[in-house]
Amino acid sequence: MEHIFCLNSNSFPALDSDKAYDLFSDSLQGVLALNTGTDRYVIYHDSASSEPLEKVELSETFTYLDFKERLLENGEQDVFLFLEEIEDKSPAMDHLPDDIIDDLTSYSFYMPNYGIANNPEVFGIAWFMHAILLSIDTDEQWCNHKIQIARTFDGKYIDEKLLIKNIAQYRHGKLLSDEFNKVDIQDSCGECFFSEDFLSWYEEQTDDNKVRVRDKLSLACEKGFNGGKPLFKNLADAEGLREIRFSAYPGGAIRILFKSLGGLEHAILVGFIKKNDNEGYESNIVRANDLFQAGSFSRRFCRKKQNHIIT
Whether 214 has a pLDDT exceeding 60, the answer reads: yes
pLDDT at res. 184: 78
pLDDT attached to residue 300: 60
pLDDT over 60 at 309, yes or no: no
Give 138's DSSP letter.
S
Alpha carbons 206 and 187: distance in angstroms, whole number? 19
214-225 average pLDDT score: 92
Average pLDDT over the chain reads 91
Q: For residues 72 and 291, give the distance between their C-alpha atoms in angstroms, rounded to a whole number.
A: 59
Task: Check pLDDT > 50 for residue 42.
Answer: yes
pLDDT tens profile 115-153: 899 999 999 999 999 999 999 999 999 999 999 999 999
Helix (H) or strand (E) holding 217: helix 207-222
What pLDDT does 311 receive?
29
The per-residue pLDDT for 183 is: 60
Residue 307 has pLDDT above 70, yes or no: no
Residues 6+ apart with CB under 8 A from 119: 9, 10, 46, 47, 48
Q: What is the pLDDT of residues 152-209, one digit of tens each?
A: 998 899 888 899 999 999 999 999 998 887 767 888 888 899 999 999 999 999 988 9
**Overall average pLDDT of the 36-54 stretch:** 87
The answer to whether 3 touches 132, Cβ cutoff 8 Å, is yes
pLDDT in tens, 274-303: 988 788 999 999 999 999 999 988 876 443
pLDDT at 130: 92
Sign (positive or negative) of CA dihedral 97, 44, 245, 268:
positive
Q: Which helix (H) or strand (E) holds 274?
A: strand 265-274
Average pLDDT over residues 29-53: 89
Cα–Cα distances in Å, from 20 out to 65, 82, 226, 265? 12, 18, 43, 48
What is the mean pLDDT of the segment spanning 76-98? 93
Which pLDDT belongs to residue 154? 85
- At residue 48 the predicted structure's pLDDT band, cuts being 50, 70 and 90, is low
How far is residue 210's CA from residue 218's CA, in Å, rounded to a whole number?
12
Residues 6+ positions from 214 with CB-CB distance below 8 Å: 182, 185, 188
pLDDT-derived band at 58 (thresholds 50, 70, 90) equals: very high
Report pLDDT for 301. Answer: 46
The model's pTM:
0.82
Domains of the chain: 2-181 (no CATH), 185-298 (3.30.2310)
Q: What string of DSSP letters covers 237-271?
A: TSTT-EEEEEE-SSSSEEEEEEEEEETTEEEEEEE
Characterize the bridge pairing of strands 253-262 and 242-247: antiparallel
